Amino acid sequence: MLETKQDGTTRTADAPPPPVWRQRPFQALWSAHTISQFGSQITLFLIPVLALTMLSATPGQLGLVSAAETLPFLLVGLPAGALLDRWDRRRVMVVADLGRAVAICALPLGYALEALSVPLLCAVAFVTGVFTVFFDIADQALLPSVVSRGRTADGNSRLEFSRSAAELAGPSLGGLLLQVLAAPLILLGDAVSYLLSALLLRSVRPVRVRHDHAEPQAAPEAQAASEARMRARIAEGLRFVLTHRTLRPLAVATAIGNLASLGGALSALLTAYAVHDLRLSPGALGLALTLGNAGALLGAVATGRLIRRFGLGRVLIAAKSLPGLAVLILATAAPGRASATVAVATGLMAYGVTVYNIGQVSLRQAVTPTDLQARMNASIRFVIWGTLPLGALAGGLLGSWLGLRPALWLVGAVGLLSCLPLLLAREVRALRGMPTGPVD
């Protein structure tokens, strides 16, 4: 028996679907994801360097900038999930890319007008963070409708591979570009990457799925009822995550780990520690981060084999503990061996984060019904990204009060203990492979 595929060709119904990298909708999604990640990783490297070298920012101010970028996940993450279960997710991603491109252009403009400041960095970080909330939630919710459900782990592996490759090349490229261009001008390249991503996303044609909770557009006179339904949908998504025996420990472990992560406390400490205490130049720091981020590529390649050999639960627990161990290694660095220590610590951190993210994102998607995917992602993000601004602020304050190195010891200890919720949850600890469908 024949059936029609998304690209208009046919195959036998009993034949397995083609690999994700041969499916045209996924090719477009993957390409857009990759281009956007490369631009964003350069920006993530440049903004703290810009703040330190051009604005003489303190660790506390670096924490404010990082907190502004992730604060939107606390403010709009849950409503975004409820809306994205009804909205066209691909179209939302296109709008988010265009919005981020416009927001990033404010920094080169501020530089040209001699109006660049820490408050401007915070404002741009916050606006791009709002658009990133919608983009990231839609991105993860869109993937299961772009590839067949049994291929989501393969799709996530390739998306994670692209993210890892961007993390590998981004800092080095950013450090190289800083030798010849001012940081605000380089940010124009990120704006262009968002525009290219938006163009590619317009060609993605996901499989249409029926949302059991979908509802017609509310009339103006029924606005109050519509808002009540939205609150109910938000509550349903949050309740689903917090009462789910697999999702709850994943959310708690990731939230604790994010307190100490590169998006949390470490974001306020790493650049200042490397430049001031270890006396690394921005170019040398970029090279060390590039060498270390090769661990992310190794993690993306090794995840499948690790899960098959040791089981999903054990891999998740071990991978979750590695970033904390990496921060403790980083705290031992000295100027004479700074580049090597930063590279080793970054490599261990990137390896653990990559393995963990591939496993936990695929697990979340596997145990969640299709019509709850966006709300599940939004609820998870509300919990796990909500700790990022708190961690960034805490890291900045600890760095200012205790000094950068003592703050790193505390941050590393928190990261190392983040695996405990997974270790204590039998539903996660006992997992051997990926579930084949939604479970309680």
Residue-wise pLDDT for 290-320, tens only, equals 788 788 888 888 998 999 999 999 999 999 9
pLDDT for res 386: 80
Is 216 part of a structural domain of the chain?
no
């920012």: which residue's tokens?
Answer: 57
Is 3 part of a structural domain of the chain?
no
Is 418 part of a structural domain of the chain?
yes
Q: Domain containing 35 — which CATH number?
A: 1.20.1250.20
pTM flag (> 0.75): no
10 sits in which H/E element = strand 10-12
Report the length, in residues, of the chain. 440
Is 58 part of a structural domain of the chain?
yes
* DSSP codes of every residue in 339-396: HHHHHHHHHHHHHHHHHHHHHHHHHHHHTS-GGGHHHHHHHHHHHHTTHHHHHHHHHH
Query: Per-residue confidence at 212, pLDDT binned at 50, 70, 90?
Result: very low
* Region 142-157 average pLDDT: 66
* Region 135-152 average pLDDT: 69
Q: How far apart are CA 20 and CA 146, in angstroms?
A: 9
The closest alpha carbon to 130, from 86, 83, 74, belongs to 74
Residue 31 tokens read as: 């390409």
Q: How far apart are CA 380 and CA 78, in angstroms?
A: 9
Is 340 part of a structural domain of the chain?
yes
pLDDT for res 238: 84
The closest alpha carbon to 435, from 365, 376, 355, belongs to 365
Q: How far apart are CA 262 and CA 283, in angstroms?
A: 19
The closest alpha carbon to 382, from 37, 82, 34, belongs to 82
Q: In this model, does residue 351 exceed pLDDT 70?
A: yes
Query: Per-residue confidence at 211, pLDDT binned at 50, 70, 90?
Result: very low
Q: In this model, does residue 146 exceed pLDDT 80?
A: no
Is 215 part of a structural domain of the chain?
no
Gyration radius of the chain's alpha carbons? 21
* Region 166-184 average pLDDT: 71
Model pLDDT for residues 104-133, shown as the tens digit of each residue: 999 889 888 888 899 999 999 899 888 888
Is 15 part of a structural domain of the chain?
no
Is 224 part of a structural domain of the chain?
no
Long-range interactions of 248-252: CB distance < 8 A, separation 24+: 248/425, 249/421, 249/422, 249/424, 249/425, 249/427, 249/428, 250/316, 250/360, 250/363, 250/364, 250/380, 250/422, 250/428, 251/379, 251/380, 251/383, 251/384, 252/383, 252/421
Containing domain of residue 198, as a range? 20-204+232-429
Query: Per-residue confidence at 9, pLDDT binned at 50, 70, 90?
Result: very low
Q: In this model, does residue 356 exceed pLDDT 90?
A: yes
Model pLDDT for residues 20-62, shown as the tens digit of each residue: 555 666 777 778 878 877 877 777 778 888 888 888 888 889 8
- Residues 6 or more apart whose CB falls under 8 angstroms from that of 239 comprise none
Alpha-carbon distances of 179 from 173, 183, 281, rounded to whole Å:
10, 10, 11
Q: Provide the mean pLDDT of the chain.
A: 81
Alpha helices in 244-337 (DSSP H): 247-259, 265-272, 282-292, 294-310, 312-330
- Number of domains making up the chain: 1
Highest mean pLDDT among 15-24, 127-136, 181-190, 324-333: 324-333
Q: In this model, does residue 171 exceed pLDDT 60?
A: yes
The sign of the CA dihedral 292, 294, 298, 301 is positive
Q: How far apart are CA 126 and CA 65, in angstroms?
A: 8
- Residues 6 or more apart whose CB falls under 8 angstroms from that of 242 comprise 248, 251, 379
